[in-house]
Structure 1
Amino acid sequence: MGNGSGEQISVHCKSQKDDLGTHILRPKESIQWRFPPSKFLYTPFNCNVTWGQHSVSFDAYDFWRDSGSNTNRCMQCVWSVSKDSIVGEGLWPYPDLIIKWPKN
């Protein structure tokens, strides 16, 4: 996950079994993690991203959406944070996932 917002963001990602902790990313910083996808160890990873007064929670990785059922939407899931949204880049022909910041 990369910070292109121009301001500091907070990222906290976890699954039911693993908590990757809270990370503070300055502008242009990024964070990475790796794990082997497995439908037998179905493990969605949920992330909460906070930027200023905005906060959004979303599944950064979901086996059935991203790797399962003949889908290879993201072999290497890349998420980019901007002032407008958080974008999960999809491999062609799968579309990007766009999560808009909630309006406060």
Structure 2
Amino acid sequence: MAISFIKIFLLLLIIFPLDLSFARFCLTTDLQVHIINKLPDQSLLPLQIHCESRDDDLGNHNLAINEDYNWQFCEAFYENTLYFCRFRWGIKYKRIDVFNDAYTCLDGLTVPNLLNYCKWEVRSDGFYLEQYDSTTGTYFMTLIYKWR
């Protein structure tokens, strides 16, 4: 009897192809990534960035001091969204993940992201992510990656 159910199921799959478009709804509300150039004011070198995911290439951008480059997206139910960026500042170069987890912005971090955005600041010593201190109820910037 179990074999006949399998045959019927396979026949239905052939007749009615599986449509997963219903699973393309948002798992969360719209998410945002913000990258802010916080390099020294006297720096004459532009901050060049190129961000992308598997589906979206956001292109090359030059950020002025204090400029905020940002985008928003919806994380689909069946996907694990990953956005990464390549940064160039003079002779310094770094490729980092800027989003891969809706709960903490980056997988492996323990501080939850209570907002719907991941805010990064690029500084002369590295890349800082905004996080929340539940004890004091304040937000602070944490060095996540160094330029090296």
TM-score of Structure 1 vs Structure 2, range by shorter chain: 0.7 to 0.9
Taking only aligned residues, the RMSD between alpha carbons, in angstroms, comes to 2.7
Say yes or no: does 1:89 pair with 2:133. no
Alignment of 1:55-94 (within 5 A): 55-63=93-101, 65-66=104-105, 72-73=112-113, 75-93=116-134
In the aligned structure 2, how far is the partner of 1:3 from the partner of 1:23?
12
2:82 to 22, 44, 48: 44
Q: Using a 3 Å threshold, how does the CA distance of structure 1 residues 67 and 60 change in structure 2: closer, same or farther?
A: closer
CA contact (8 A) 1:2 1:81 kept: yes
Give the TM-score, by structure 1 length.
0.80
Q: Which runs of 5+ in 1 are unaligned?
A: none
Q: Using a 3 Å threshold, how does the CA distance of structure 1 residues 72 and 36 change in structure 2: closer, same or farther?
A: farther
Q: With a CA cutoff of 8 Å and minimum separation of 6, indicate the structure with the bigger relative contact order.
A: 1
Give the TM-score, by structure 2 length.
0.59
Task: Decide which moves more: 22-31 or 73-82.
Answer: 73-82
In the aligned structure 2, how far is the partner of 1:47 from the partner of 1:72?
22
In the aligned structure 2, how far is the partner of 1:27 from the partner of 1:9?
8
- Counterpart of 1:18? 56
- Counterpart of 2:36? 2
Query: How many aligned residue pairs are there?
Result: 101
Percent of pairs identical after alignment? 27
Q: What is the DSSP-based 3-state SS (H/G/I as helix, E as strand, rest coil) of the residue aligned with 1:91?
A: strand
Q: Which amino acid aligns with 2:131?
A: G
Q: Which runs of 5+ in 2 are unaligned?
A: 1-34, 135-140
Task: Decide which moves more: 84-93 or 1-10.
Answer: 84-93
Say yes or no: does 1:30 pair with 2:68. yes
In the aligned structure 2, how far is the partner of 1:38 from the partner of 1:96?
28
Deviation at 1:21, TM superposition (A): 0.4
Q: Normalized per residue, which structure has more helix?
A: 2
